Each structure stands twice: as C-alpha cells, then as structure tokens.
Amino acid sequence: MAVRQREEAAASLEPGRRERLREIYRWMILLRTLDERMLTLQRQGRIGFYGSCYGQEAATLASAAALEPGDWIFPALREQGAMLLRGFPIVPFLCQVFGNAGDPQKGRQMPSHQADASVRQASWSSVIGTQLTHAVGAAYAAKRRGEPTVVMAYLGDGATSSAEFHQALDAAGRWKVPVVFCCQNNRWSISLPVDRQTAAPELWRKGLAYGVPSERVDGNDLVAVHVASSQAVGRARGGGPCLLELVTYRLGAHSSSDDPTRYRDPAEVERALARDPLVVGRERLAAAGAWTDEDDARARRDAAGEVARAIAEAEALPRPAPGTLFDDVYAEPPWILAEQRERLAAELAAAPRRRPGE
C-alpha cells in the first residue's frame, strides 16, 4: 500500500466525525494535564515512577478511539491513557500509580502499567515486543471462536528490531488474524535515535515483508490518525492484519527516570514543538469550525479540576492490606496458601504497632 502522507490521510471534518474528534481532543487535553501533574508528583516524591505520553497524545488516543468496546488493546509504555478514553475511572487509574488500596492490581504491578479487563486492556511486562505475540494469539483465538473482535497492539520504533515483532508479523500475516499493529515512531528508543537502531528509513515497510498491508501516517494529526485507524480496524474485522506507522515525537523524557538532555539536542525538541499534537489538533478543528477559544479554555479548566480532585481522592487511600498478597493467586486457594495467610495475620497481630512513616 502506498505511504499515507498527511495531506492524503487527513480527510475533511464531515459533520458525522466532528463530535467524535472533539471528544478525542478533550481527552488529549486531559491526558496532557494528567501527565504534567504526575511528573510534578514524582519530583515531589509522592509517586515513584511515571511514563508520560507527552507529544504522543494524538497517536495514542485517536487510534484507540477507532475501536469498539469489545475490542482489545495490548499496550506498550504510553497507551495507559486509552483506558480512560474507553471508560476506566480516573481514580483507580491513579491508585495504580500510587500503588495503594484503590489499585485494582493491588499494588503488584509497576507504576504506569495500568490494565483492566473491564475496558479490554491487557497488562504488559516492560519487556520490549512481548505484547505483540500475545496480541496475535488473542486475535487468533477470536478468529477461531468466530468473534467479531479486533486486537490493537501498540509498539515503539525500537520494538520493530525485536524478535517478537518479526514473529508476530509473520504469524499474523500467515493466519490473517484481526490485529492492528500501531507503531508509534517517536524517533527515540530511549536514548537511541531510530536511524541507529534500524537501517530501514521507513518502518511501515517492514510489514510488507510478511504480507501485512502497511502504511505511514502523520501521528501528530488526530484527524489523520483517527481516519487511518478506523479504516485499519474495519479491514481487520473482516479480513486480516495491518501495520500503521504513526510518525510522532517524544517531546519529554522516556520516563521520569530519564534525562534526555544527556543524549538529545534541545534544538531538536524546540523544532518538534511546532508540531505538538495539541497545537496541530486545535488548528485542524478550529479551521473546520469545530473548536473555539471558549471550547479550549473550558476543556483545560475542566481537565485541571478533574485531575486535581482525582489526585486528592486517590492519594488519601491507604496502602494495600498485607492479606491481599494472597488474593487472586488461585481461583480456589490451596491449603498451603491458606496456611500462609493465617501465619502472616498472626505475625502481624503480634508485631508492635508502628506510627505512620516509621
């Protein structure tokens, strides 16, 4: 398939699509607001780690918005915001970052690794590329069962050099499973630029080697991403896999543990800011008469208030109770686990009480 350039991909904002794009843009503003607050909290020592989506909001949210409620997402690092767009409440989302009693994962997963079956978002392991073969397996199962499910598998540019990427594309191409691979090419594999981790100047071409229809999309344009993703999901639901290379840019650090100034020229970031997806999205919507200055001020005010209230509620919750360590390990707990639970409870009861912070 020919490369989809921005001018070709960005369809006109017809009335039927306008409200959906406005909704996506509001979620982009909320996600940007949330990321900024989380990074502040991390610097204050109130949370331990955070992976920001700064600069990739359009690629993440406009693609996920193309899915139906019954479809599944197998994420990489920066797709946790898709859960919010798909209906996951923001307070338990934040509780996962805090790792407290409100976390549905009971504080067992690393921060910024949100997952929940209620919104069909699988967990991931931080190992580069492993989610891709898992996604193909889930899509294969859906096809075998005759279910109308599409699986969206996210990856970064660095993952296209992993063994799992090639295994997943090969299997998906052979089995014609309903999976959409969304490669967010943000130009940096942590500290390694894309041209140093692969000789392929255009990552979308890697899919063609496995018989997977592939195309390149302007990942900073929410209209282009949503149009291309909607078409890809439609093809996958009735046919087979495809690969989208969403060309974007990681405006911030790889994570709160990273200092990009040690390996990246600040002038490069300044140039990329001109293509900030929130700037591009606002321009696209405003040009079509679908977004005003009043809309923007209201959306930012609402996002700031919602995030502030959610942080206050989430941060007030206590740590997970020690006994939850034994929950969700087995459907029917074996005797040895029950014995360990009782022993822990007895030891805690006998231990001296400590004051908070000790």
Q: pLDDT tens digits for 304-355?
A: 999 999 999 999 999 999 999 999 999 999 999 999 999 999 999 998 876 6
Query: According to the model, what pLDDT value does residue 138 have?
Result: 98
78, 120, 134, 254: the catalytic one is 254
Q: Which element (helix H / strand E) includes 180?
A: strand 179-185
- As a whole number, mean pLDDT of residues 282-304 equals 96
User: pLDDT-derived band of residue 14, with 50, 70 and 90 as boundaries?
Assistant: confident
174, 263, 271, 298: the catalytic one is 263
| Global pTM exceeds 0.85 | yes
Cβ 172 vs Cβ 232: under 8 Å: no
Between 4-18, 21-35, 62-76, 247-261, the lowest mean confidence (pLDDT) is in 4-18
- Helix and strand numbers (H, E) in the chain are 14, 7
Query: According to the model, what pLDDT value does residue 12 have?
Result: 56
Range list of β-strands (E), the chain: 72-74, 151-156, 179-185, 188-189, 192-193, 214-218, 242-247
The CA-based diameter of the chain, rounded to the nearest angstrom, is: 69
How far is residue 156's CA from residue 159's CA, in Å, rounded to a whole number?
5
Query: According to the model, what pLDDT value does residue 124 have?
Result: 84
Cβ-proximal residues to 82 (8 Å cutoff; 6+ apart), any chain: 60, 61, 64, 73, 75, 121
- As a whole number, mean pLDDT of residues 54-72 equals 98
How far is residue 6's CA from residue 220's CA, in Å, rounded to a whole number?
10
Query: According to the model, what pLDDT value does residue 355 have?
Result: 61
Q: Is 140 a residue of the active site?
A: no
What is the per-residue pLDDT across 136-182, written as a single tens digit (0 to 9) for each?
Answer: 999 999 999 999 999 999 999 999 999 999 999 999 999 999 999 99
Give domain 6-319's CATH architecture.
3-Layer(aba) Sandwich (3.40)
Query: According to the model, what pLDDT value does residue 358 have?
Result: 55
Strands 214-218 and 151-156: unpaired
What is the per-residue pLDDT across 222-254, written as a single tens digit (0 to 9) for each?
Answer: 999 999 999 999 999 988 999 999 999 999 999
Beta bridge partners of 1: none
How far is residue 146's CA from residue 148's CA, in Å, rounded to a whole number?
7
Beta bridge partners of 192: 189
Residue spans in the chain of domains classed CATH 3.40.50.970: 6-319
CA nearest 72: which of 155, 136, 156?
Answer: 136
What is the per-residue pLDDT across 64-121, written as a single tens digit (0 to 9) for each?
Answer: 999 999 999 999 988 999 999 999 999 999 999 999 999 999 999 989 999 999 999 9
Q: Is 263 a residue of the active site?
A: yes
Query: According to the model, what pLDDT value does residue 236 have?
Result: 97
Query: According to the model, what pLDDT value does residue 1 have?
Result: 36
Evaluate if residue 214 carries a pLDDT over 70: yes
User: pLDDT-derived band of residue 357, with 50, 70 and 90 as boundaries?
Assistant: low
Evaluate if residue 3 carries a pLDDT over 60: no
Cβ 85 vs Cβ 119: under 8 Å: no
CA nearest 62: which of 289, 272, 232, 212?
Answer: 232
Structure tokens at 310: 């959610």
CA 178 from centre of chain: 19
What is the per-residue pLDDT across 252-263, written as a single tens digit (0 to 9) for each?
Answer: 999 999 899 999
Evaluate if residue 7 carries a pLDDT over 50: no
Query: According to the model, what pLDDT value does residue 354 have?
Result: 66
DSSP SS3 for 121: strand
Q: Is 226 a residue of the active site?
A: no
Share of the chain above pLDDT 90, in %: 87
37, 86, 250, 282: the catalytic one is 250
Evaluate if residue 10 carries a pLDDT over 80: no
